[in-house]
Amino acid sequence: MKNLLRPALSLFIVLSVITGLIYPLVVTAVGGWLFPRQASGSLIARDGVVVGSSLIGQNYADARHFWGRPSATSPQPNNALSSGGSNLGPENPALVDAVKARIDALRQADPENHLPIPVDLVTASASGLDPDISPAAAYYQVARVAHARGLSLERVRALVDEHTRARQWGVLGEPRVNVLELNLALDAAR
DSSP conformation class of 153: H
- Give the residue extent of every domain in the chain: 1-40, 42-188
Q: Which residues face 46 on adjacent strands?
A: 49
Angle 159-106-162 from CA coordinates, rounded to 5° = 10
Phi/psi at 168 (5° precision): -65, 130
Mean pLDDT of the chain: 88
Does the structure show a pLDDT above 80 at 79?
no
Q: How far apart are CA 66 and CA 104, in angstroms?
A: 17
If pLDDT is split at 50, 70 and 90, which confidence band does 86 have? low
Percentage of the chain surpassing pLDDT 70? 95
Q: How far apart are CA 73 and CA 129, in angstroms?
A: 8
Residue 17 burial (CB < 10 Å; 0-12/13-18/19+)?
exposed
Q: What is the pLDDT of residues 13-60, one digit of tens each?
A: 999 999 999 999 999 999 999 998 888 888 888 888 888 888 888 888
Element holding 82 (H helix, E strand): none
Q: Is 53 helix (H, G, I), strand (E, B) or coil?
A: strand
The confidence score (pLDDT) of residue 142 equals 94
The confidence score (pLDDT) of residue 70 equals 86
Question: What Å distances lie between residue 42 and 46, 80, 147, CA to CA?
Answer: 13, 14, 31
Q: Which residues face 132 on adjacent strands?
A: 178
Angle 47-48-49 from CA coordinates, rounded to 5° = 95
pTM for this prediction? 0.79
